[in-house]
Structure formats: structure tokens, C-alpha cells
Structure 1
Amino acid sequence: MDITIHASFLPTTDPEASLAFYRDALGLEVRQDVGQGAMRWITIGAPSQPGTSIVLYPPAADPNITEDEQQTIAEMMAKGTFASVLLATPDLDAAFERAQAADVEVMQEPTDQDWGVRDCAFRDPAGNTVRLQQS
């Protein structure tokens, strides 16, 4: 069996701010942008990986989520504990400098971890943790 990763989903509360973060600060490309206002789905991805995407979506769009669950999700997003993504780049320091120049929220500057990875971390405009590691 050959299974590949096609898309993963990250919630967003401000599509324009998320678009600026992922496109302008991190350099990902926009593949689709559908809907409008707060009900907007933006598909982004790395130019070098045309078959793998991240979909930025409005978490309140799911009709199966109760109001209490929506409140819990909003609280977790605000704390940065709801969703995360791990990205990789061959030049971590250059990517960090580009993101930092875009005035993103830095959680961790580039660091050599004990387990052998060099990485850094940001929070996107929705509060999601974005870890970026040297590939």
C-alpha cells in the first residue's frame, strides 16, 4: 500500500493575518483561496512539494461542533495548545531571519536540541505552534 500525505488542517481566526504569516513570513505559496470573510479556506504549501498542502480553515465552520466545544477550541487556540505543525528547511538561520523580519511571534530562537535537531518555533496569528527545523 502506498499512502501519501495530501493535506493537513490548521485553524485560523484571521485569514488575512494567517495568509501574511505563511506566505510572506515563511514563503509558502497560495494554492487555493475560497470563501470569504471569516468563512475562508486557504490552501498553502511549499513550492517544492506540490502534492502536500496545509489548509487554513475556520474552526467554527463544522456544524457538528457545539457552542461549548467552539469556546474550548477558541480558548486552546489562544493559549497555543490546540494545533501545531512541523516544517523543515535547509537553511534554518535564513528562514528564521526572514520570519523575524516580518515581526512574527518568536517562541524559540534557533537552538541545537539534545536529540540532534536544530530548530526554532513561532506562533502563527491564530496561536498555532509552528516549529521549523533544519533539514
Structure 2
Amino acid sequence: MSVRRIVPNLATADPAKAKTFYGDVLGLELVMDQGWIMTFASSQKMMPQVSFMSEGGSGTPVPQISIEVDDVDAAYARVKAAGFEIVYGPADEPWGVRRFFARDPFGTIVNILTH
């Protein structure tokens, strides 16, 4: 047996609100829309991971989702220009990532990073 994919499922009364943050700002493709569920995806090959945290590192709150991007500063500019709250950073962390935390339309803290 092998794990092929890990998908976070976030509860919300209005899945359509995800389109701006995850689609327009972060550039994920809407691959399924059933009204009650909207799924966004990337064509990039990814390795399934799941993390368990007592804190978010550097004294930050635990983010519910981490999204690795190729250019964290460009992502930061897009998130900020779209008016989403920046919770932390951007910061260069001692463990080798540059990251920032943003709050999505549902209040979820999203860790956006690059190695």
C-alpha cells in the first residue's frame, strides 16, 4: 500500500469564496465544482506530507495549510494586493525557508513558503 495524495478538507458555508484566494491569487486551477465542494489543484508533481505541530515556528500560531511556491515574494505581493490579512512575515527562517502567513477568506491561516 502507498499513499498517493493527501487532501485537506476545510469546512465552510460558502465554498465559492475560495476562488479569489486559491484560484486568482495563488493560481491553483479549479478542477471540481459541485456547489458544496470546490477543489483547486496544481499540475505540479507533489509528495504527500502531513505535519503535526505544537506551534508554527518562531513563536507563530500553527497554520492549518502550508503551500510551497516557487516565488514567495511574488505570492506575498499578490496576497497583499488582493487585500488578504498578512498574519506573519515575510521572514527568512533559521531552518531554511522564506515564508509568510496569510488568512484566507474563511479565517484559515495559510503558511506560504519557499525553500
What TM-score results when the alignment is normalised by the length of structure 2? 0.76
Q: 1:25-44 residue pairs with structure 2 within 5 A? A: 25-35=25-35, 40-44=36-40
Deviation at 1:116, TM superposition (A): 2.2
Bigger helix fraction: 1
Residue correspondences, number: 103
Report the secondary structure of 2:20's partner residue: helix
8 Å CA contact 1:12, 1:125 repeated in 2: no
Q: Within the alignment, does 1:114 sit opposite 2:82 as a pair? A: no
Listed as ranges, the gaps of 5+ residues in structure 1 are: 53-80
Matched residue, 1:45: 41
Which whole-Å CA distance do the structure 2 matches of 1:30 and 1:126 have between them? Answer: 18
Change (3 A) 1:101 1:49: farther
Q: 1:1-135 residue pairs with structure 2 within 5 A? A: 1-35=1-35, 40-49=36-45, 84-135=64-115
Bigger strand fraction: 1
8 Å CA contact 1:111, 1:119 repeated in 2: yes
What TM-score results when the alignment is normalised by the length of structure 1? 0.66
Which whole-Å CA distance do the structure 1 matches of 2:69 and 2:24 have between them? Answer: 16
Which whole-Å CA distance do the structure 1 matches of 2:18 and 2:3 have between them? Answer: 29
Report the RMSD for the aligned CA atoms in angstroms: 2.5
Which whole-Å CA distance do the structure 2 matches of 1:19 and 1:48 have between them? Answer: 19
Q: Which has the larger radius of gyration?
A: 1
8 Å CA contact 2:86, 2:103 repeated in 1: yes
